Chain A
Amino acid sequence: MPKTYQTFIADQQDIPEAKETVLVIKDLTSGPRKYDALRVKAIIHKSGKLQPDEDELLVRSEVGVLQDYQWRMRILEKLPDLVPIPPYSDYRLSR
């Protein structure tokens, strides 16, 4: 039974279709664990019929707006939870 997940992709012009990509996805299965997160390696497709080994993927923009079509996703591998980078690496902080 396919599940439905959700992810956020900042650059909507460059969504990595049909190639391996690392995503953090949220499980949309109803219940107390809804929105539980997973880091996965997956391949996603915009078009075509959902295959037996695929799940549905909803994509939201950087500011949380839902795209009006669904993607299909094949999870290749579940990855470790954590990204080994120190926090605040994104910011250009002054002394």
Chain B
Amino acid sequence: MGVGSLRQFIGVLDELEEIVHVKQEVDWDCEVGAIARRVAELRGPAILFEKIAGYPEGYRICCGTVATYNRVGIALGMGPRSKMEDIFLEYERRAESPIKPKLVSGGPCKENIITGDELDIYRLPCPMVHEGDGGRYIGTWDIVVCSDFETEWQNWGMYRFMVHNSKYLVGEPAPISHFAKILREKYIPKGMPMPVALVIGASPICHLVAATPYRAGENEVDFAGALLGEPIELVKCETNELLVPAHSEIVVEGEILPDATLPEAPFGEYTGYRVTGQKGGVVMRITAITHRNDPIMTTVCIGKPLDENGVALAISMALEMKRRLKQHGVPVLDVYLPPEGGSQLCLVRVKTGTGEVVQKVSDILAGRRSYLTNLWIFNEDVNIFDLNEVIHAMATRCDPSRDMEIVKGEGRGAYLNPGFSKAERLGLKLAVNVADCTWREEWRKGIDIPVANSFKEIYSKNLQEKVLRNMKSYGFNL
């Protein structure tokens, strides 16, 4: 069903002319990032940089893998030009049937194994992504694997990791992430280093899943298998017991130190801004690097929409939010995080827009931990994937004097919100504007609820069919 490895995906993109191979030598120091950013902002193709200055032939960098919904559809095996709504539905349908992974004894990611004195992260073309970032980032489009030693839970997440020197990386998994939860609750109290593996260049499906906030205890690899349509093949790391996708391009193994820190950041982030200064990050001591021959490093030049980070979160976070709403009995139809909102705006479409339903949505999506600043709820007739409809409904159906509530809190919000002060970000301030954009629940259809002046709603079915049938003969080519 889905595409099982990065190289397979690149092959499919080649056939569909959705990728450009840059054969001219480029510099890992900001040039790769600048090209990727420019192409992302123009909604361009994926990019495979084939010649990196100062690195051996064959060492490559790939950007923009799933930076458009079209390429997400391709990764899922749905073919090109799938409608966004269909991609969401298909993703959701497959995710209902998790498939356990398959353990294999070897794989392409073991073609080269580097340990001991030969360990040197600079063997890989880690890019300086944005000019003025705190350092070179190896982890931007990655899968960070860690595990809770008391259970069988192996957690996947997508966290940025910066190169400090040849032996140490420093990362910034969000303080309310599962990575941080496991580290703080299980390893730091015991003074134990936490084994970790940083996977680069797995199949796009695996990366999409890593970016999804599943519940604590759920193995993301099971959902990746569901999207692929078959078990993900996993292979054991060389220096710890973690399992990683066997077809990955690069795996950096290590341990997170429980009693040390190093400065990390600043870094231009998914909100579209570079907002935080240096703070103490988690330190990863590298214990092994394994990689395919001619390895391909996946990198995202995160920034203003649209890029793979925004697209991934739009789908994965939205569908996980929808799953949670459904589990709590909310009559939810769709959830969408438009990339244009920097992953901080959430749109929810419900079957019935009663006060009780709206309150439940607010409690579930804004009441506990949340990265959102805006949560807008709409009636069934609004297509929340069409931002024209969203803006129109928000502007015309929401009465600010009664339909808006600010949900506030501390210690469970976003640490990257550009609109908050530094102190507020450190305090993990939560502030979500919940807007009820549904018609008042006591309003009756045909009597109180206004009639929309739209083609589909104000003209009879017969007249609509006649007009659509005759568009060409009227002289229109629409």
Number of A-B contacts (CB under 8 A): 116
Chain A facing B: main interface SS: loop
Q: With the chains together, A91 CA to B280 CA distance in Å?
A: 10
B222-260 near A? 1/0 per residue, CB < 8 Å: 000000000000000000000000000000000011111
- Pick the contact of B426: A24, A61, A92 (CB < 8 A): A92
**Is B259 within 8 A of A84, CB to CB?**
yes
**Is B260's CB under 8 angstroms from A64's CB?**
no
Q: Of the candidates A32, A34, A91, which one forms a contact with B175 in the assembled complex, judged by CB atoms under 8 Å apart?
A: A91
Does A69 make an interface contact (CB < 8 A)? no
Asked if B262 is at the interface (CB within 8 A of a chain A CB), the reply is yes
- Return the CB mask of A29-46 against B: 1 if under 8 Å, else 0: 001111111100000000
Proximity string of chain B (114-148) to chain A, C-beta cutoff 8 Å, 1 when within and 0 when not = 00000000100000101111111000000000000
Residue contact B278 to A85, C-beta cutoff 8 Å: no
Given the complex of chains A and B, what is the CA–CA distance between A91 and B416 in angstroms? Answer: 12
In the complex, chain A residues whose CB is within 8 Å of the CB of B412? 94
Residues of B within 8 Å of A85, CB to CB, are 259-261, 280
Alpha-carbon distance A71/B126, docked complex (angstroms): 28
| Interface residues of B, Cβ cutoff 8 Å to A | 29, 54-55, 122, 128, 130-136, 163-168, 175-176, 180, 183-184, 188, 256-263, 266, 274-283, 409-412, 415, 426-428
Q: List 10 A-B pairs, minimum CB-CB distance, nearest first.
A: A94-B411, A64-B132, A62-B277, A82-B260, A87-B282, A91-B175, A64-B266, A37-B164, A90-B279, A10-B277
Task: Write the residues of chain A forming the contact surface with B, with a CB cutoff of 8 angstroms.
Answer: 8, 10, 24, 26, 31-38, 60-66, 81-94
In the complex, besides A33-B122, A83-B261, 17 extra interface pairs with C-beta distance below 8 angstroms are: A8-B278, A24-B263, A24-B278, A35-B128, A38-B165, A81-B167, A81-B262, A82-B262, A84-B260, A86-B259, A86-B260, A87-B260, A87-B283, A89-B280, A90-B279, A91-B175, A92-B427
